[in-house]
Amino acid sequence: MRKPPGMAEAGTLSPALLPDLLSPAPLPPRPVAAEGHRARMRQRLLGTGPEALLDHELIEMLLFLALPRRDTRALAHALLARFGSFARVLSAPVPALLAVEGLGEAGVAALKTVQGAALRLLRAELLDRPVLDSWEALTGYLRAAMGREGVEQFRVLFLDVRNRLIADEALGRGTVNHTPVYPREVVKRALELGATALVLAHNHPSGDVSPSAADVSMTAEVRRAAEALGLVLHDHLIVGAGRCLSFRAEGLL
């Protein structure tokens, strides 16, 4: 009986065919036009700086690092169309980003890496100097960290005796209009960190930074718990995408 081509014996493959089967299929080459486009953007970025790139171009360059074989130009436009702005693309929740066709975990990780780097740069402006003397840096950092969150988040900035930042921690996440806050947990954490003063902050996903009755009541409870242990509550900030409201400035603290 004649053996089929490529078969050494029944059920075995000819050794001559093994290299072809074991070698991975070559990836398709990137279009020359795309390579030239990315090279030109790269030169603008390195020569002039990030301000030389439009929002979609900056996203495109970022995604190219994580997705070198994808059409990141179309993906960048799709992200901006879906979320509305460069800032909202970076701050979008992971599940929402993963729902964008073609982005995948690698692309989402790239976006979240840039968001994390930006927040660390802003937080660095608060370190080693009194937070109360750096109000513009503080509110800028909080707007970037919380202003575009889709649900309420409650954060506490723990300060030392010179009002320098010891830690900035998110102590609660809730719904679109409510976050449970436990004053005893706030002051307990302050004592664990050796803090002597606090600044509270939470966001309103609606963008309206007007304090609710529950916000005012919770702030008063935290203040009483803090004062009982010798801690100072400097302020409570409500954060929206465009501005912050200060309880102290509004006469509410």
3-state secondary structure of 244: strand
The two structure tokens encoding residue 108: 């989402």
Q: Tell me the pLDDT tens digit for each residue of 126-137.
A: 776 777 777 888
In contact, 180 and 174? CB cutoff 8 Å: yes
The single-letter DSSP state of residue 49 is: -
Place of tokens 């171009």: 57
Which residues of the chain have a pLDDT value below 50?
Answer: 6-8, 18, 21, 24-25, 27-29, 32
pLDDT value at residue 191: 94
Q: What is the mean pLDDT of the chain?
A: 82
- On whether the pTM is more than 0.75, the answer is no
- pLDDT value at residue 29: 47
The tens digit of pLDDT for each residue in 188-203 reads 999 999 999 999 999 9
* Confidence at residue 27, expressed as pLDDT on a 0 to 100 scale: 47
Q: Tell me which CATH code domain 130-246 carries.
A: 3.40.140.10
What DSSP assignment string belongs to 93-125? -HHHHHTSTTTHHHHHHHHHHHHHHHHHHHHHT
Q: Quick: pLDDT tens for 104-162.
A: 999 999 999 998 888 888 888 777 677 777 788 888 888 888 888 888 888 999 999 99
> What's the burial of 132, exposed, middle or buried (CB within 10 Å: 0-12/13-18/19+)?
middle
Residue 4, pLDDT score: 52
Distance CA 227, CA 36 (A): 63
Domain ranges of the chain: 32-121, 130-246
